């Protein structure tokens, strides 16, 4: 099969397409024929240096996948060949989603939302599960709460806005002014142009902050939270700021989650969530996808089309 691998740690040019052996599913695993693979910041950060998540072997690349079950291993009862599925297998261990086939534990996948193309569905797993696990499992966002989403037009952010809105929250987003119309269309009640306004001067009494930027943004966000507020930062544990009594500040790392995928799929099918795909490129142009992503200006997601 065709697969994109990293020849050695480094820039996008280290992503190369190779013919490799097609994997076979083992116990409780399925073989998925990949139709599309999502591209995420962790992909290019890992490509640059495997130390990001403790790898010392040069990897196959990618986690987000949408495709068709080709074969099932012993013990699998969830899926049959021909089922359309999406998911984020094995994260943060190697999955190798930039390929024509990928093997995944069955419960790292869920049935693809019927109304989405594979390209759209491949944009959902890692970013959608990150937003779901942060806002629902960690912060337990409740109706009427005020939720501030930083980088609200980005991969995680644009889905977080929609998930928070589906939970009944009042949603405030930060983004450049050119992206405000889209984020409002996705459900944001209020937008802040971070280029011209300090968000802490424009908003207060927030219940939940989802920070996908880290550094000083996380530190500054503590001041906008009310008593009982929750700050969830995503870049890393070193970005968790000190918080006063009565305020939670924490870091979380997304993990494979069959239940979460089903919940996200249900939101999609009732029209409450839709992924935005800004750029779709063929598998052979994975390096170009990384070059675009590393510029940090993507609205929504970048996806590689495979089948």
- pLDDT value of position 165: 98
Domains for the chain: give ranges and CATH numbers: 2-124+275-305 (3.90.180.10), 127-251 (3.40.50.720)
Task: Identify the pLDDT of residue 49.
Answer: 81
Task: Report the pLDDT value the prediction gives residue 250, as an integer from 0 to 100.
Answer: 97
pTM: 0.96
CA distances from 125 to 109, 191, 274 (A): 9, 25, 12
Alpha-carbon gap, residue 146 to 82, rounded angstroms: 42
Residue 243 and residue 237: Cα distance in Å, rounded?
Answer: 14
* Per-residue model confidence (pLDDT) at position 70: 98
Intervals of the chain under pLDDT 50? none
What pLDDT, on a 0 to 100 scale, did the predictor assign at position 53?
A: 59
261-287 pLDDT, tens digit per residue, is 999 999 999 999 999 999 999 999 999
Q: What size, in residues, is the chain?
A: 307
pLDDT, tens digit (0-9, with 9 covering 90-100), for 179-211: 999 999 999 999 999 999 999 999 999 999 999
Dihedral Cα 189, 194, 196, 198, nearest 10 deg: 90
The confidence score (pLDDT) of residue 62 equals 95
Preceding peptide of 92 cis, ω within 30°: yes
Q: What is the pLDDT of residue 51?
A: 58
């Amino acid at each position: 099969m065709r697969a994109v691998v990293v020849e050695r740690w480094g820039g996008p040019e280290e992503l190369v397409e190779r013919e490799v052996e097609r994997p076979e599913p083992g116990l409780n695993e399925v073989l998925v024929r990949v139709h599309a693979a999502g591209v995420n910041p962790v992909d290019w950060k890992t490509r640059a240096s495997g130390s990001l998540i403790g790898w010392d072997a040069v990897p196959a690349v990618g986690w987000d996948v949408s495709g068709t079950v080709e074969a099932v291993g012993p013990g699998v009862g969830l899926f049959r060949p021909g089922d359309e599925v999406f998911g984020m297998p094995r994260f943060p261990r190697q999955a190798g989603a930039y390929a024509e086939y990928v093997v995944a534990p069955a419960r790292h996948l869920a049935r693809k939302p019927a109304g989405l193309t594979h390209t759209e569905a491949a944009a959902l797993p890692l970013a959608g599960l990150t937003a779901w696990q942060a806002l629902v499992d960690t912060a337990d966002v409740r109706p009427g709460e005020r939720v501030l989403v930083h980088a609200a037009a980005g991969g995680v952010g644009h889905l977080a806005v929609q998930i928070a809105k589906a939970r009944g929250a009042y949603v405030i987003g930060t983004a450049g002014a050119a992206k405000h119309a889209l984020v409002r269309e996705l459900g944001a009640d209020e937008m802040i142009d971070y280029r011209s306004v300090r968000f802490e001067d424009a908003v207060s009494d927030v219940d939940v902050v989802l920070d996908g930027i880290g550094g000083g943004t996380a530190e500054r966000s503590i001041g906008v939270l009310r008593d009982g507020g929750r700050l969830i930062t995503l870049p890393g544990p070193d970005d968790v700021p000190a918080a006063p009594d009565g305020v939670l500040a924490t870091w979380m790392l997304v993990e494979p989650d069959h239940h979460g995928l089903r919940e996200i799929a249900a939101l999609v099918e009732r029209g409450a969530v839709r992924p935005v795909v800004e750029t779709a490129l063929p598998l052979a142009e994975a390096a170009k996808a990384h070059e675009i992503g590393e510029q940090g200006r993507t609205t929504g997601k970048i996806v590689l089309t495979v089948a």
